[in-house]
Amino acid sequence: MNPDLNNILLEAKSLQKTFKTGEEDLVVLHDLHLQIHKNEFLAVTGESGSGKSTLLHLLGCLDHPTSGQILYLGRDLAQTNGEELNRIRNCEFGFVFQFHHLLPEFNALENVMLPGMIAGLPARDLREKARSLLTDLGLGHRLSHKPSRLSGGEQQRTAVARSMINSPAILFMDEPTGNLDPASSDELIALIRKQQQNRHLTIVIVTHNQSIARNADRHLQLQDGNLKPGVVE
Ligand SMILES: Nc1ncnc2c1ncn2[C@@H]1O[C@H](COP(=O)(O)OP(=O)(O)O)[C@@H](O)[C@H]1O
Ligand SMILES: [Mg+2]
């Protein structure tokens, strides 16, 4: 499915993020504007330290901007009460990070079910959905494996399945292939892309990985605190 250009899911307006480090202020993002459309697969690249993770954390409401706004479906998230904000973060947003953060004592199926359990959904439905997600991600034969018995690529695919269990509207991914070899990385990207299209997901990936940028609907580059059109190397 192509991005729905009339439909803005998430918008950043005049975003600024400054970290106070000792005497000096470090301005990481400055007057940054971004509109993310429904069903869009957006890749943001940038050098190490350019502010990719900072931007993703602000968009996903894991951190607060110094100034500026984040609007989700037109609603200013800074004006949204804590309980509702938690619901949005847990159910409408999904996250995948460079490190999978799977719980070692649970198997793949249970790890995927967990955010649904936290959201209070019935275990039987979650079990079916987790099974279906893991199968779609090529892990139907690994449901009862604990993370230590999965390869790096399989662990990360489990983390992707977990990020989708609550049927989020938007997925935020921070260097999801950062720990993978090139073959596992390409495989993960292809699977993510397929799920994005089948499930009509909106995905924002921040990454060093140029092959993700090449596969995206749109590619932006973070430089000097701001976004510009991306150039694939
Ligand atoms: N909590 C923090 N306190 C102070 N400085 C930070 C903090 N988080 C990030 N930074 C700094 O902000 C800049 C951008 O960091 P980051 O967003 O992690 O970059 P990237 O993900 O592109 O590598 C870096 O210079 C980093 O050192
Ligand atoms: Mg980072």
Residuewise pLDDT in 10s, the chain (233 residues)? 677 777 999 999 999 999 998 888 999 999 999 999 999 999 999 999 999 999 999 999 999 999 999 999 999 999 999 999 999 999 999 999 999 899 999 999 999 999 999 999 999 999 999 999 999 999 999 999 999 999 999 999 999 999 999 999 999 999 999 999 999 999 999 999 999 999 999 999 999 888 899 989 999 999 999 999 998 76
24 Rama class: left (phi>0) / alpha (psi -120 to 50) / beta:
beta
User: What pLDDT score does 203 carry?
Assistant: 97
The residue to which tokens 């009460």 are assigned: 81
User: What pLDDT score does 1 carry?
Assistant: 61
For residue 79, what are its two tokens? 């004006």
Closest C-alpha to ligand 1, atom 8: 54
Closest C-alpha to ligand 1, atom 26: 49
Q: How far apart are CA 5 and CA 135, in angstroms?
A: 31
Kindly identify the ligand whose nearest atom is closest to the C-alpha of 173.
2
Kindly identify the ligand whose nearest atom is closest to the C-alpha of 29.
1
The amino acid that residue 63 corresponds to is: D
Our mutation pick for probing the ligand 1 site, out of 17, 19, 174, counting the most ligand atoms within 8 A of Cβ, is 19
Ligand 1: nearest atom to the Cα of 47 = 22
Ligand 1: nearest atom to the Cα of 20 = 4
The residue to which tokens 């350019």 are assigned: 50
Q: Where are the domains of the chain?
A: 38-62+82-229
User: What pLDDT score does 150 carry?
Assistant: 97
Ligand 1: nearest atom to the Cα of 206 = 21
- What topology is assigned to 38-62+82-229 in CATH? Rossmann fold (3.40.50)
Q: How far apart are CA 37 and CA 201, in angstroms?
A: 10
CB atoms < 10 A from the CB of 162, how many?
25
Q: Is the pTM of this model over 0.85?
A: yes
Question: Does the beta carbon of 99 sit less than 6 angstroms from any atom of ligand 1?
Answer: no
CB 149 within 8 A of CB 197: no
Cα 30–35–41 angle (5° rounding)?
A: 115
